[in-house]
Structure 1
């Protein structure tokens, strides 16, 4: 029995902060695994590697052979032997995992590994394997393949071909022969390839593992592995010129690696570098986690390196920030101003959000009293000077608009009209930003049937909403955001916090007690969560009790409904076209699934049920749970089955 140290510790591809496990391969030299009958040895325990179409790529079956002649064994020797339909005696892959657990006196099984956990020190992964002196048949084509970068060299490939391979006791997930398959490992060759990478390629690999630990493993533990990241680096190295991998080009190299990984996840196929038929991602990424992982990767790629500043591992973010501060003491004023303005907008959103969250499930009376209390406190604090006064001036109008909308909802229910008091409160928040306050006013008019006033307000919003300047703002949950528009930079550089009213567009938020001021198509969002969905929520999902919608899609939706009611066909088509374009092209949508649900209902009204169903289906791919799309799909299918569409 031999023990070999493998993994990142032996390759020099880890850091203290990554806290990598110690990987050890235990293999037996008393077993003779062969691929050619001529390698059979008398008196030894021989196994023939079977690599045919019945076996998953990258795996093999081990057929027991006789010790006295190069012939198949014809009787079951022990509990680890199995006779298949063809009469072959095959070795079960549970042999080594059971042995390892017994040999180590316990441990946690994880795939083919048995992990020993040590208090105060790194875990150790032990993997049992059998060595085969011959290079695997499935990898022979790789020896003749040559990428754009002419890497690895012929000498390296020649060395790799002489390292043989191992068979490890684990089958391909979902395979019919999962208990009998053995994974083919070319770990010696892979370590040789890692030793032939330059410092930039090694850094890319280490940074990918840091990104994995920071952004993905905390939420999706067993989806993307460090071995997949290693495969990405090897693939990209082979398919790019060596001049690409320069130290001063590290960020571009890292982005390229992440793009390759993104494509692998998109296609759910990460081909093994040496045995391409072996898909390393098979069975690892669920349909629910896939869109979220892709969203995270897109955020990191689009951040142009700033996402690295959030990495706490080895204090990387802090150290990078320190370097940036030393290199660039004074930033471009427009960038600083834009950053400050956007942060101010986010703080306004978060502060009002926290207050509204506290009353999201309260009665109308309690909610009204709470909002009045907030407003009273803000009025008192506004008597102060400086930042306190500014903060109160920015926050108070938001509570006023919400209070007015609740009162309008009560008015509509009891009197089928809107009181002057409600309109007065709503008007306080019409200029908080470009659109959200005005859209609440438009919703009130729309729900009371005053389409002329609705159309007037919507026309005013569209006139003020400059697509080159206005930046959407949503902090309901974390989602990938693109950098600000150039016009936003220009406005920010020449104005103070007052620029919020014509350079930002907050998402529109409705409490349940505003239900009579919410279009029926949007009311579904108040009931998006089933009992089962509630069990999958966490503390940051309180926004799901609201009806939330991004400004621009909601503007075009209300225009579509209003112009359709007025019979203005050209304007109706234009509004629908704008809604589709916004969903397709606007990257900063915090509630894209809601926009798709609204679009689906527009498609239903256009008598296009198939297009509507497609909208709801896409919506579900973005958010699989707590999504009103489930209601719409059931409702639409019922309508279609009953012949009403």
Structure 2
């Protein structure tokens, strides 16, 4: 350990500067939190507006802002199913709900419980097993098994199970997503009642935080204790929402201490890349240390001492095989975690780090912390660039903030897809009610809900307007004033998709001049600034260029409307607004193809979906052909070909090739058309309208001969 007080203070300040430079600063922390809270809000608005009885909570390091690029933390999502009602007292029973009584007795591990199935028509226990997810215990109680999570994974090849989590693999540049199924309990857990009265040295957590905790109740998640004698029956009592509130109230020094602890843990403490000490244990140790010290200790010039204090406390926990949960202290997070050999190695690693902290700190590779610290401490010879591959603090800020915007945009696209799935088979009255439901968030929501509404609503207005337009076009080949009003309200969803829908509506009614004017303006917008193509139908991330990052890092999330081009989606109730050549996409799947579709994620295959730029040039081609502007028509066709050949971010290249093939047929170039369809099948062998186009083309050629 460093012995000189002045050196400790200097080192603390240097460490704080390094952590500031790699993104652990107030601005970045708030930016990360804002981004994921906005995504959480959008998700829950979509759920509530479509009567999906789930609430999503984004938790963990990403939502707390307690991570860095190098730590590459997962996104933890807790999915709360409100069809269930977990009760601790019979007075909490609700008619019509899936009621379960939380049981904590001599057979359950502290912090865990059994769930006893209750009747939904009166507050009495169920006496017979209702399905395979229940089992009768020795006392005759019908208990709910935690293996229910397996149902969510059945037949799903893109997810894997990790403890209670369903893990979705992240694409390059984006984090993995750990989704945990949770059941709600409205009351604060009885096993945590002592926490509400506990008062630390620094009078922390505050009374406001404790009141918030009492109002949120708790959750139960399907996982058992390591030492459980009933592995299929135990459910963990979760206070995750309270823990998030506590983390949101930490100061920047406490956040930096936690980030540094995680770096030390990942670099030095866990032996042989095994996860024995978890980041949650480090967080718990940190919270206990904060509770048991005066608040003035937690300042940047004391960061090193704070980290050392936490490491000593962690060492004590390992030595005693006990790390008490911060809110439910009877729950020992280390129970059954370590063998004697592992415990000895962990203890040795912590001691080695504390005794050789100078050398260890200077050798942290994550985010080049060690190298950066050496530069701050003047350990690098003057003029030598010791870390040429490292990003500057500005570049880190640009990257994190811009990828945050991109992540928001991807979620907008995914929520729009889920909304269309909900509306696909609904009648006009139901769709109108959905619009009214969404409008409540504009009138009555909080600030985050207002922001989320502004991002989501234009897509809905455009779709609703297009459905109304399709209906009126089918009746009298005109667009009703109500449809135009809705289409106009949605024009600013992004730079292209809603405008292209409006152009398609005018094209369908034969108003070529208006459609051409919209297309010309959209094309100008597309090339006036760097634009990112967004498609949430697939899990591939968009290619974010350095130019794009530099252009938009100082914006707010409102800039998403001006920097993104979403794919254009038409559901079947919009068919009269869809060019004939695109309508084939709505009927792409044979009965055999349907077997190879995912029920929810591939719902877009029943619609006509195309990327913005190919649709823009296709519509230009059709309009100029109709107007007999042959030179403009050929230019549009060339642009369509170039976009398909060179576009890096096309999510629906097979559809673009299909409409290009039909253009080639209209140009009397059947060989080129067939080539387009064959290339399309290479992109997507199944669930592809190219199969129909090939049959139609070959049939026509045979007839003509």
TM-score by structure 1 length? Answer: 0.49
Query: Which protein has greater RCO, CA pairs closer than 8 Å, 6+ apart?
Result: 2
Whichever of the two has the greater Rg, that structure is: 1
